[in-house]
Amino acid sequence: MRAKQMPSSILTRSKSPVILLFAVIILALSFFFFFLFSPSTTTAAVTVPYWHPSVRPETSFVASLEHFLAHKAPKIPASSDDTVGPVIDHDVRRLDERKFVKEMEWLRGDPYYPMSMPVRVYVYEMPSKFTYDLLWLFRNTYRETSNITSNGSPVHRLIEQHSIDYWLWADLIAPESERLLKNVVRVVKQEEADLFYVPFFTTISFFLLEKQQCKALYREALKWVTDQPAWKRSEGRDHIFPIHHPWSFKSVRRYVKNAIWLLPDMDSTGNWYKPGQVSLEKDLILPYVPNVDLCDAKCLLESESKRTTLLFFRGRLKRNAGGKIRAKIGAELTGAKDVVIEEGTAGEGGKAAAQKGMRRSIFCLSPAGDTPSSARLFDAIVSGCIPVIISDELELPFEGILDYRKMAVFISSTDAVQPGWILRYLKSISSTQIREMRRNLAEYSRHFVYSNPAQPLGPEDLVWRMMAGKLVNIKLHTRRSQRVVKESRSVCTCDCRRSNSTHSNPIN
């Protein structure tokens, strides 16, 4: 039996290499033809790129704006017509019906609706006097450094710090092939939109127009937006207004209090926003645009041995409201060993001095300004300097996503003014904790650097992640506002018209 089996075994082993080689050839040909004729592969590679290794993101507002106006702005001026035309109830009702059909499609076809991504945004195409004209105004005048506010801050530097309206808009209107963010998409039909973006540059108009001219433009922008059928349908609850400077759009804010405001903070003290105008439920806090350059991984490594200053602060010590604590802290810390407290402004010289000081310091003082927030906090973060936050009323950007305890020190105002308390506390923090917080700063800094193209995990990206969480409440409040029985209102209107027609001649 064994003699008969031996040849069979040898024969089987002799055929194995031939069979294996044949199988490998067949498999290779199969993969070749699959990738050659697969439409999904070629489409994904060509039309939906996620990353552009050859495109370096631009983080300078001035440089990005120069390129945007040169290559993206329309060559032919937009129509000067700034009216929407008469909006009748029929237009609003028709939009509402189309919206209902779309929402039912999403409900039945999307298991994650209404929390699904991407967020669908309709961007209004407003007359150029609200958009491109204001960008050109900034571009043509930003070198005029003599243009300063009453407290000495360069106006154009303040505009840069609050330029979130530019970064968001530039990303939303860019061709889809050039965009990297996948959690927000621009739609061209209003019934397909979750949210409506109003691209009005409120900060530029506030600082660069004469007072009366600015107020007139605010009123025109208000009329343009509130005359839109989509606004009337929701009473503005699904509309986004960039109002990032606390002084901007102030004269007409009360008429858009239902809308989503993009703010630097909540300012619950009531000095800048009236009661009931802002809330964490409807509004969103966005970080200031940093006034200093990003200290990247290489910079952080090189600067680590140079960080010999324990605590650094450069800015104005005299502020209003909650910022009055600055003067008390300044008086307490001035002259202390390993502490630098300097009075300064945000001009070019001030920027260089602040950047140099922050990169040589372990901790950076970030007390409240005129409002609970301060641009200095974000300057410290991108400089790798651990922020020491002294602001009892402060609400932080993206706090529902980011844990600031991992990269910042929080001190109450009560403790901060006690003699010697701040320095004793900072000196008690171990070197191990400091290294860990600095590593977290290096990781977190990407969340506070605006850029074009907007980067995944950058502030523009986190805006839409936070917005997605608001959609359920927005839809809820929109539908509640429509509970009034409009049919009875229409009947009343018709009856009134009939009654009036018996007493007056019709208008021809």
User: What is the model's pTM?
Assistant: 0.81
The pLDDT confidence band at residue 381, using thresholds 50, 70 and 90, is: very high
Taking the mean position of all CA atoms in its chain, how far away is CA 337?
A: 39
pLDDT in tens, 384-418: 999 999 988 889 999 989 999 999 999 998 999 89
H, E, C per residue of 131-164: CHHHHHHHHHHCCCCCCECCCCCEHHHHHHHCCH
As given in the structure block, the two tokens for residue 77 are 């001026």
3-state helix, strand, coil in the chain (%, to 5): 50, 10, 40
| Separation CA 78–CA 311 (nearest Å) | 52
Pair 313, 325: CB distance under 8 Å: no
422 DSSP β-pair partners: none
Residue 345's pLDDT is 67
Question: Nearest to residue 474, comparing CAs of 192, 118, 194?
Answer: 194
Reply yes or no on whether the pLDDT at 134 is more than 90: yes
Domain chopping of the chain, boundaries? 61-285, 297-448
Pair 357, 306: CB distance under 8 Å: no
Reply yes or no on whether the pLDDT at 361 is more than 90: yes
Residue 45's pLDDT is 29
Mean pLDDT, range 364-378, rounded to an integer: 85
CB burial string 202-217: b at 16+ within 10 A, e below: bbbbbbbbeeeebbeb
Pair 380, 366: CB distance under 8 Å: yes
Mean pLDDT, range 115-122, rounded to an integer: 90
Percent of the chain with pLDDT over 90: 53
Residue 7's pLDDT is 38
Reply yes or no on whether the pLDDT at 69 is more than 90: yes
pLDDT in tens, 295-342: 988 999 999 999 999 999 998 777 665 557 788 888 889 889 999 998
Residue 320's pLDDT is 61
Strand 260-263: give its sheet, edge to edge.
Answer: 184-186, 119-123, 195-197, 239-242, 260-263, 284-285
242 DSSP β-pair partners: 262
| Separation CA 267–CA 372 (nearest Å) | 6
Reply yes or no on whether the pLDDT at 503 is more than 60: no
Q: Hey, which CATH number is domain 297-448, 3.40.50.300, 3.40.50.970, 3.40.50.2000, 3.20.20.70? A: 3.40.50.2000
